Structure 1
Amino acid sequence: MADDKSAVIPEQIDQQDFSWPFWFTLPLYPYGKRRTIRKEVVKDTIWTFDQMQGIFYVVVPIRMTVVKLEQGGLLVYAPVAPTPECIRLVKELVAEHGDVKYIILPTISGLEHKVFVGPFARCFPSSEVFVAPHQWSFPLNLPLSWLGLPAKRIHILPEDSSKTPFADQFDYAILGPIELGPGKFSEVVFFHKRSHTLLVTDSVVSVSADPPAIVQLDSYPLLFHAKDKAFDLIADTPANRRKGWQRVSLFALYFRPSMLEVVGLGKVLREAIQAPNRSQKAYFGLYPFKWHSDWQHSFDRLRGDGRLFVAPILQTLILNRAPKETIDWAQKVASWDFQWIIPCHFDAPIPAKPSQFRQAFSFLEKHPTTSAGLLSSNSYPLPEEDFQLLRDIDQGLKKTGIVPPPKDKV
């Protein structure tokens, strides 16, 4: 993998360079201004493009990956917002390695990925767009062309990956669709054979102890969540940025970890009056959170030693609706000889073996085993107490019948 010093961060800030005028189609922070960091992760072969997005300052990276094709040209996996800065950084690669030939939409339910594909494809009019099968939209299931994708350039990824024009360089495996009542979940992971790199969307992640570079370009969300009380004054230091990032990660992955209490409205309002910053940016001083003193224990258990794991929301609300299908898919992916994984969120690239990818899904098994085939007593050691809110949501969905109930482990 290439050195991290290959990151491209603009020295002079031009606000127009970060402009994303269609932010209202998915109104997530930072709304109409999105910065981009390009990083070369495999020399002259693979580049990642990181942006940032979130809700209530719970910000995490969203990532596009660009791969150089052997015959020249580029393949783009999971486009991000095509801001002037982002497109300029892509066109720098185009000038050296050839035009964007293929654009991949690897999911059917992730609006944070789907919403960018059409605008990105229009910036590269000679590209062909390949999308995961069984696409859908809510509340109306509209044709992809109505969602902004270029109708004459759309292709559905066939189940047989050998039927694509890039089959000599990539293999892929389709998970799903998993039926979720009013919607569906699906993901397509791509394996780049020459670099031994696996590209994934949401299925697995790894969390860094320090905030990623893209999140540090705007430190306010990190400092906001580094507070213990509404009236705290938080200095912009590496330690506070790290503290804020670790809390943001717990928020993003658990919604409400066990080490967090939601403060009552009366106390929230009283503390807001004492807040040193009651601007709209600071949510008028409102800070309805109280972290236990040992909150970092939850983060340390989540991160482990930088391990690969399935996000709790996928484990609790989605993949347990199709455990056998998911295990079969994970087994197929684990048959490839990859050495690196690049997800669309959190840390990347992740050094990982196929056996580690397969092990991440062992929570779906009654008797999970290690890579050596031995019974594992601690195959998925995330603390059960941090799952409580997700379990409650799952129970509510089952009671209403909105979503099919979970199936038994395999």
Structure 2
Amino acid sequence: MQDSPNPSYTSPHPQELNPQDITWPFWFLVPIYPYGQRKTLLREVVKGEVWIFEQLQGIFYVVVPIRMTVVRLEEGGLLVYAPVAPTRECLQGVRQLEAQYGSVKYIIMPTISGIEHKVFVGPFARHFPTAQIYVAPNQWSFPVNLPLSWLGLPPRRTHILPPDSREAPFAGQFDYAILDTIELGPGRFSEVVFLDRRSRTLLVTDSLVSIPQDPPEILQLNPYPLLFHARDSAFDPLQDTPQNRRQGWQRITLFAFYFQPSTLEVAPWSSVLREAVKAPERSKKAYFGLFPFRWKPNWQESFNQLHGGGQLRVAPILQTLILNRAPQAVLNWADQVARWSFDQIIPCHLTAPIAATPWEFRQAFNFLQGHSSGLPDADMAFMRRLDQGLAQRGITPPPKV
């Protein structure tokens, strides 16, 4: 696998945008950054065939891209995989594609557990009243398991994906593989990956990512989260330089993947509060000067191992808390996908597109067969302690690998 080129963004008419164009009024359903203001970037990744729409999401400025993919149908019209927030700006981009290639015919909800993906499907679908919605089987909600119509999905247009992709109305162009539902005690996990045979593109949700060395384009539009995490203490000024943007991004990825990487220490709150009072920036935007993070000198080495040259990765939380509960089912699913022919992968997060082969896709799941994941034991230690604690308390079933 090699790093993919980064085609130019083609976000529609940015000079005409105003705050209302990027407003998402229902942000309180998933109250995470950037809350009610969600900028969208549109990029064409296969000319006249495949487009991606990117927004941001995160907590405490640990922000990553979240992505929707739109594919042109051979029969005319569009298929949408994993919708994002339907802001005016986002919808404007889709309408431009509709004007050229036909209306949105199918909307896919490819997960049963990712609230950050599921929450947008109903609101997005209401803007396309003739589109049919297809969702992964065995949907559930927490704390009460509600019917899909109560979650905002139009009942007359919403269908469960058939187990056999040959029975779907878009079977002439797409294959899909449904990962068997993994029972996790308080919840479930499943994912549906789609293959667009026409463009040889594999669409995945959360199962795989590739981590870039530099911050994705959408984070560059408002670099404050990058600069916030580039600091070493609350007393450091926020200086906007390419080096600081990169440093902030690399630390953000360590947070996002490990929660508590070995190269990070959390300062005592007594010290954090004393520093906050004296910090030069104490606005609400800067969390009132609170900055509890202390990075060890070797944090860069930790990131380099996580980056791994941009190779395909299964996130540590999936490795240690989810996929290892049903290793054989996951491997069977991965084997099915690896029999397809594709040249690139578009996940819903981080780098896209990723130039990758079916063999590389399959290799990413070898940790389920006892092989090393290539991630340092020290960095994985927190996730493994969390895994053991949940299993010992009977909250989740014990792992099978």
Q: Which one has more relative contact order, counting CA pairs under 8 Å at least 6 apart? A: 2
Aligned-partner residue type, residue 7 of structure 1: T
Aligned-partner residue type, residue 310 of structure 2: G
Please tell me the root mean square deviation across aligned C-alpha atoms, in Å. Answer: 1.1
Q: Which of the numbers 389, 399, 403 marks the counterpart of 2:392?
A: 399
Q: Which of the numbers 4, 8, 20 marks the counterpart of 2:7?
A: 4
Tell me what 2:84 maps to: 80
Cα deviation per residue 1:77-125 (whole Å; 9 max; x = unaligned)? 0000000000001100000000000000000000000000000000000
- Structure 1 pair 6–284 and aligned structure 2 pair: CA distance change class (3 A): closer
Give the match's secondary structure for 1:21.
coil
CA contact (8 A) 2:9 2:41 kept: no
Tell me what 1:289 maps to: 293
Tell me what 1:107 maps to: 111
Tell me what 2:379 maps to: 386
Number of corresponding residues: 397
Between the aligned partners of 1:296 and 1:3, the Cα distance in structure 2 is 24
1:213 to 2:217 alignment:
yes
CA contact (8 A) 2:69 2:80 kept: yes
Query: Identity percentage over the alignment?
Result: 64
Cα deviation per residue 1:34-89 (whole Å; 9 max; x = unaligned)? 00000000000000000001000000000000000011100000000000000001
Runs (4 or more) in structure 1 with deviation over 6 Å come to none
Q: Which of the numbers 338, 341, 347 marks the counterpart of 1:337?
A: 341
Cα deviation per residue 1:147-168 (whole Å; 9 max; x = unaligned)? 0011110000011000011001
Aligned-pair CA distance for 1:3:
6.3
Between the aligned partners of 1:319 and 1:78, the Cα distance in structure 2 is 21
- Structure 1 pair 189–31 and aligned structure 2 pair: CA distance change class (3 A): same
Between the aligned partners of 1:391 and 1:13, the Cα distance in structure 2 is 46
Tell me what 2:184 maps to: 180
Tell me what 1:373 maps to: none
Unmatched tracts of structure 2, length 5 or more: none
Between the aligned partners of 2:65 and 2:351, the Cα distance in structure 1 is 8
CA contact (8 A) 2:268 2:292 kept: yes
- Structure 1 pair 304–231 and aligned structure 2 pair: CA distance change class (3 A): same
Aligned-partner residue type, residue 396 of structure 1: G
Between the aligned partners of 2:381 and 2:61, the Cα distance in structure 1 is 22
- Structure 1 pair 286–38 and aligned structure 2 pair: CA distance change class (3 A): same
| TM-score between both structures, scaled by the size of structure 2 | 0.97
Between the aligned partners of 1:158 and 1:89, the Cα distance in structure 2 is 30
Tell me what 1:29 maps to: 33
| TM-score between both structures, scaled by the size of structure 1 | 0.95
Tell me what 1:308 maps to: 312
1:128 to 2:128 alignment:
no
Tell me what 2:199 maps to: 195
Tell me what 1:137 maps to: 141
Tell me what 2:364 maps to: 360
Between the aligned partners of 1:203 and 1:3, the Cα distance in structure 2 is 22
Q: How is 1:62-101 mapped onto 2 (pairs within 5 angstroms)?
A: 62-101=66-105
Between the aligned partners of 2:313 and 2:267, the Cα distance in structure 1 is 30
Tell me what 1:160 maps to: 164
Aligned-partner residue type, residue 8 of structure 1: S
1:261 to 2:265 alignment:
yes
Give the match's secondary structure for 1:4.
coil
CA contact (8 A) 1:196 1:338 kept: yes
1:230 to 2:234 alignment:
yes
Give the match's secondary structure for 1:176.
coil
Aligned-pair CA distance for 1:271:
1.2
Aligned-partner residue type, residue 310 of structure 1: V
CA contact (8 A) 2:366 2:373 kept: yes
CA contact (8 A) 1:271 1:286 kept: yes
CA contact (8 A) 1:205 1:310 kept: yes
- Structure 1 pair 127–405 and aligned structure 2 pair: CA distance change class (3 A): same
CA contact (8 A) 1:2 1:43 kept: no
Aligned-partner residue type, residue 394 of structure 1: D
Larger CA deviation: 285-294 vs 265-274: 265-274
Between the aligned partners of 2:396 and 2:15, the Cα distance in structure 1 is 48
Between the aligned partners of 1:200 and 1:221, the Cα distance in structure 2 is 26
